[in-house]
Amino acid sequence: MLRLAQQQTQVIKGRLPNQFAHASARNSFNHSIRFNSAVALERQDSGNGPLPHNNKNSATSQSAKQANAAVNKVRHLRNQLGSQPFPPAYSKNRQGAHPSTPVDSPWYHKVCAFEECVAQTLYMSQTPRRRSMRQPTDHPTSNANPLFWDSIARAMDLYHDLIDTPELNSDRVSRLVHLLHNGLRANRNQLTRMNKKPDYDSQSFHKEMTNYLCKSLREVADNMLTNKVELNEYGAMHLITAFKELLLFEEAVSIWKAAINGTNPYSSNIFLNPRVVGVILPILYDHGVPYPEIQALYEKSSSMINYFHPNLSVGMIRASLSAGENEMALNLFQQLCEESTEMKYGYLIETHLSFIGECNDLNVAQTFFEKALKDEMPYKIDLQVSYVKSFLRNVWNQTHDLQMVYDIWYKSSVHYGRDVNHGISSSLNDTFFDIFFQNYANDEVSGFQALQSLIHTYNEIKRIDEPFFNIILAKCSVWRDRKIIEYIDKSYELFNIPKTIVAYRILLKSMGSVDDASSLEILQRWIDLVSKSDEAGQKFIANADWAALRDATVTWTQYMRDLTENGGGVNAGSDRDSLHSSSSGSEANRQLFAEIGGDVDYSHPALQAANASGAFDDMEAQQEEMQQSQNQLQQELGERMSLYLKIVKRYSPYCRDPRQLTRLTSGTAVKYSVLEEVLPEYGSLDVSDIPVPEFHNIRQTNIQ
């Protein structure tokens, strides 16, 4: 699959202090690629060391031959691209003609309506066929059919009407499951392209549709397990895949196990089909099934057919990668290459991405990553951001080398280009800055210098958008530095980026990492936020707005309380920290003169002599200063808690419903003891000093 040839690879020869070396400031060197059991990447270089890997001194000749065979096969296929006629159009009915329903059947009209609704909508929502494998894949879209979502609802209604009839056979139910699965993909695709995700408590169409599709899929699965309906292998594959994409992995495993262990031998056999097993194999391994049992299931499913099934091999490759069985994965990949025609290149693309994001041998993953970037494969690889993010995390977890992480992030950002939608770039940046701030968590000075360099570098790759600064603003709170938060806040204006409600929420939330934030400052941030919410057309104060207020007040108070009670300093380098150290020293002096019972023996001769010499003249002053600092801290803690309760009480008429108000008070008190202590004061609080701006969209709900 991979070319066994000398390649030019860029590395960082020297790293600039406190900033990342730019891609152009790198020294190239030659390396060779050699396949052994780990498919290690050998490098001959006298500069910086390569990625850590389990490299062996000698490669097995068998593995090298297998790799060469795969390479030659793909090269041959690449040369043949464009020379073969395009295959005939894909049949709408993969299973052949369905038995027609008699005209005099009482269900004839509903069956016809079901067929028309499902078949036509499914055809219009399926992934468009490419004229060339060099073209990227277009995902299912609901825009091609204005009545797409109505058709799905209509199809489910007809399904309910026909469920007790013999006309609802396995093929028809399977096409319905396929349609529901396409609905999930279309919904996710639309959501990815939105500049702003809907609030989780808002009445979002995307949220409601996801819930509806999930409910419908569960209903079909339950009906299948209770033998009311049956699925063919395509329907079973789409059913398990849909639950996987909903991140309901345990439910997918439960359905699969129930099907193969059920009383219906037809369903048991269907869910052991290679198409289905290929989907469930990596999920089973991730949920504790030992690798030998995975191999046994693979062999059992493979024995059901007399040909090499790509879907099954892809699943086994992914399970093998998760188990660290890289040689097995590469052997299967070689076989997949040999068996693949242009029409099956989608399996190669999926496997290629799996090697990038799921292979624990970083050298193998890096090689597949570079091949995708350089577009050296006979198929066009849509470099899905989820695999790149997984690659970033794998590199960080194994090496803790931020420069390597940066190189991958930089190359990926350049690859996606200036016109990539916000969802993809934000997802990539979120993972990268997670790692970035982990690396610089205890080195604010160097971290801030590197951050400034990153901002300017990214602006050269693509125009900075609001999500970019939102991510940084949310994560820089680890430094607990007001000046950096203000720097990012000003950067929005500097780069001509209008702030949305998301930025206002993060700015309020960030006050929870500023120890000297005043009540007036927090209150103003709150007013700015609710004013922006009103401007955005919200009808009530959303949970996300309240959560930002909670983090700025209650969460900060709980953090400071726990910190002081556990004996930690309030703020590194602060007077309180110094006083705590002085207090500890004074306590140590007192222990020198303590009696066995623990009380100070003031008659001790040494103590009397030290006191007469003036050795303890400053002790009382230190203790008094420490007490004042503690009193000041307690006052600040009380002020923030009081501010939270007063804002909640003053703005309670603008809650969505009484349940939301309950969660803000007694519900939050369950998790935060500092709120539980002061909650009894809620009813008697005077909130006349808490202003409310003039709202145009947010309405009172008269909650008392």
Between 55 and 281, the higher pLDDT residue:
281
For the four alpha carbons of 468, 474, 479 and 482, in that order, the dihedral sign comes to positive
Same domain as 659, residue 580? yes
**Residue 532, helix vs strand vs coil:** helix
Same domain as 530, residue 622? yes
User: What pLDDT band is residue 616 in, cutting at 50, 70 and 90?
Assistant: low
Return d(Cα 295, Cα 43) in angstroms, integer: 34
Chain mean pLDDT for the chain: 79
Q: H helices within 359-465, ranges in order?
A: 362-373, 385-399, 402-416, 422-439, 444-461
User: What pLDDT band is residue 21 in, cutting at 50, 70 and 90?
Assistant: very low
Terminal C-alpha separation, the chain:
69
Same domain as 215, residue 163? yes
Q: Looking at residues 235-256, what average pLDDT do you find?
A: 96
Q: Looking at residues 304-333, what average pLDDT do you find?
A: 93
User: What pLDDT band is residue 596 in, cutting at 50, 70 and 90?
Assistant: very low
Whether 629 is covered by a domain: the verdict is yes
Whether 503 is covered by a domain: the verdict is no
Whether 550 is covered by a domain: the verdict is yes
**Residue 47, helix vs strand vs coil:** coil
Same domain as 65, residue 124? no
Return d(Cα 56, Cα 42) in angstroms, integer: 9
pTM of this structure = 0.74
Same domain as 585, residue 674? yes
DSSP 372-401: HHTT-SSS-----HHHHHHHHHHHHHHH--
Same domain as 136, residue 243? yes
Return d(Cα 458, Cα 410) in angstroms, integer: 8
Whether 140 is covered by a domain: the verdict is yes
Same domain as 53, residue 170? no
Whether 276 is covered by a domain: the verdict is no
Same domain as 597, residue 662? yes
User: What pLDDT, on the 0 to 100 scale, is given for residue 663?
Assistant: 95
Same domain as 646, residue 533? yes
Q: Among 141, 231, 158, 149, which residue's Cα sits nearest to residue 192?
A: 141
pLDDT at 700 over 50: yes
Lowest-confidence pick of 132-136, 245-249, 389-393: 132-136
Same domain as 587, residue 534? yes
Whether 603 is covered by a domain: the verdict is yes
Return d(Cα 230, Cα 233) in angstroms, integer: 10
Whether 701 is covered by a domain: the verdict is no
Q: Looking at residues 160-188, what average pLDDT do you find?
A: 91
User: What pLDDT, on the 0 to 100 scale, is given for residue 604?
Assistant: 58
**Count of domains for the chain:** 3
Same domain as 138, residue 73? no
User: What pLDDT, on the 0 to 100 scale, is given for residue 159?
Assistant: 94
Which domain covers residue 661, as residue numbers? 509-684
Q: Among 404, 463, 460, 413, which residue's Cα sits nearest to residue 436?
A: 404
pLDDT at 631 over 50: yes
Report the half-sphere exposure of 685 (CA within 13 A, side-chain side).
20
User: What pLDDT band is residue 119 in, cutting at 50, 70 and 90?
Assistant: confident
